[in-house]
Structure 1
Amino acid sequence: MQSQDDLDWVSQHTPAPDGNQDNVIKEPSLEPESKEPSRVERGDRPYEFGKRFLTDEEDVWKFNAWDHVEWGPDQKEEAERQLAAQAQTPVNEFDKKLYLANPARYWDLFYRNNKEKFFKDRKWLRVEFPALYEACKKDAGAVSILEVGCGAGNTMFPVLQENENPELRISGVDFSPRAVEIVKTSPSFDPKFAHAAVWDLADPEGNLPEGIEPHSVDIIVMIFVFSALAPDQWPQAVSNLQKILKPGGRILFRDYGRYDLTQIRFKKGRLLDENFYIRGDGTRVYFFTEEELVEIFGTAFTPVKIATDRRLIVNRQRKIKMYRVWLQAEFSNSK
């Protein structure tokens, strides 16, 4: 259940040399209002997210991307002004009920419209989530991986391509029947190791995916998926995940962070609720903070790593700056 924004989380918002993105968005600060030390000040950096640091502003146009970009108070104020303007023109109540009533319809339309161009090989998976590739080693033993919101197989297929483990089992589930059909009919789908099924992550009855037994999965992968749920669905989704994961199993998580470029650029009539939006194609997206992830998943899982990935993406020809914010985390089923 991945969005258009995740066709590739860098290329989707990095214009080509002749791109048409005209707005220069200043990135806000994610530092808390209190005087508590930040993660960086505490020396807590669980994910590296690259090592290209911008130390001299004059160098900004030398590369297409910079890592760990810091933001000032004026940038935060600009972002908050943008969000305040969005709050003045939210989605009307009639359309809000329509969007919230049948989200599966919009995801099916999304995959129908993007069937041929959706799949992008997530080459960054090996760096960000090496556990997936440890499971592919010949002597790794029996390992079960579940990709929630598998879309067109953006995680499943790169892992299968590298697999040398005869005991690996990787399953992909998605809210959209059309997405599951795309996965199953792909030439890369190998039923010897792979399985795919339709499943609602927030199933209110607590039903598990077809073919998945309770507490049978070692690793659950959720990449740009949880943000598609409405906030009132979060507790049920966490409960469903807990039913699936083995004791000691892990959740690998990546999703949108607060003040990401995508959030700042929403115009009138897109705000469903605080930090929760409807896109032009009818799909939904929420923008998280680290603290929210602890609150959401900490009820059932132990947070192992949580970090904010802040990138500055630039169009060097057109001199356009684009600031991205993603959250990445790992949770353990140790409670």
Structure 2
Amino acid sequence: MASLQRKGLQARILTSEEEEKLKRDQTLVSDFKQQKLEQEAQKNWDLFYKRNSTNFFKDRHWTTREFEELRSCREQNPLYDTERCKVFQCDLTKDDLLDHVPPESVDVVMLIFVLSAVHPDKMHLVLQNIYKCHGCSS
């Protein structure tokens, strides 16, 4: 297994022009619009994906550089035992993962692009849901 590397990131300092622009941009989405977007999230995602398929994010193959152990997953030759691993779809904010995954049976969880797609008020539900299946919860 490839060794994990920790790389530090430095926050970019905003210019005074950027700071002013942020101060001026205080417009919030209306409560009605927020609720509408939240209620129609699945429909909007389906429409977005139908329109863009896999063309929206350019595949830069960074996962295979950062997580070498996943390399053969991209080549349709998984490194995991397909008899022990089950593929399924669920809404992590609503569905109980324990319906699909035994408690404390997961060693690694990758949430790439997941939490950014979840409403901040529901992020704790996602994390609690995953935590129940993760092996560190005991």
Report if the CA contact (8 A) 2:98-2:132 is conserved: no
CA, structure 1 residues 121+71, in 2 after alignment: closer, same or farther (shift >3 Å)?
closer
Partner of 1:115: 53
| Aligned partner of 1:201 among 82, 92, 95 | 92
Cα distance change on mapping 1:119 and 1:93 into 2, 3 Å = closer
How much is the aligned-residue C-alpha RMSD, in angstroms?
A: 3.3
Distance 1:70 1:218, change over 3 A: closer
Which structure has the highest helix share of the two?
2
| TM-score, normalised relative to structure 1 | 0.34
1:80-111 deviation line (CA, Å, top 9, x unaligned): 33333321x22223212211223112111111
Say whether the 8 Å CA contact 1:214–1:244 is kept in structure 2: yes
| Distance change in 2, residues 1:230/1:77 (3 Å) | farther
* Preserved contact between residue 214 and residue 245 of structure 1 (Cα < 8 Å): yes
Aligned with residue 85 of structure 1, among 20, 24, 40: 24
Aligned to 1:243, the other structure's residue is in SS state helix
Query: Do the aligned partners of 1:198 and 1:209 also contact (CA within 8 Å) in 2?
Result: no
Work out whether residues 208 and 240 of structure 1, in 8 Å CA contact, stay in contact via their aligned partners in 2. Answer: yes
Superposed counterparts of 1:1-335, under 5 Å: 46-47=6-7, 71-72=12-13, 75-87=14-26, 89-115=27-53, 117-118=55-56, 121-130=59-68, 132=70, 157-158=73-74, 161=76, 163=78, 165=79, 168-169=80-81, 195-203=86-94, 207-208=96-97, 211-247=100-136
Output the CA distance in 1 between the equivalents of 2:113 and 2:98.
Answer: 19
State the TM-score, normalizing by the size of structure 2.
0.72
Deviations 1:221-267 (A, max 9, x none): 111110111221122111101012123xxxxxxxxxxxxxxxxxxxx
Cα deviations by residue, 1:301-327 (Å, 9 ceiling, x for unpaired): xxxxxxxxxxxxxxxxxxxxxxxxxxx
Structure 1 spans left out of the alignment, 5+ residues = 1-44, 49-67, 137-156, 170-190, 248-332
| 1:123 alignment partner AA | H
Contact 1:197 1:210 in 2 (8 A): no
Distance 2:32 2:107 in 1: 42
Equivalent AA in structure 2 for residue 86 of structure 1: D
Q: Map Cα deviations across residues 188-234 of structure 1 (whole Å, 9 max, x no partner).
A: xxx7787432211222xx61176322222221111111011122112
Separation of aligned partners in 2, 1:94 and 1:84? 24
Distance 1:220 1:71, change over 3 A: closer
- Cα separation, 1, equivalents of 2:130 and 2:67: 19
How far apart are the structure 2 equivalents of 1:108 and 1:82? Answer: 33
Structure 1 residues 92 and 128: alpha-carbon distance in aligned structure 2, compared to 1, 3 A threshold: same
Identity of aligned residues (%): 28
Structure 2 unaligned residues grouped into runs of 5+: none
Runs of 4 or more, structure 1, over 6 Å off, are 191-194
Give the length in aligned residue pairs: 134
Greater per-residue strand proportion? 1
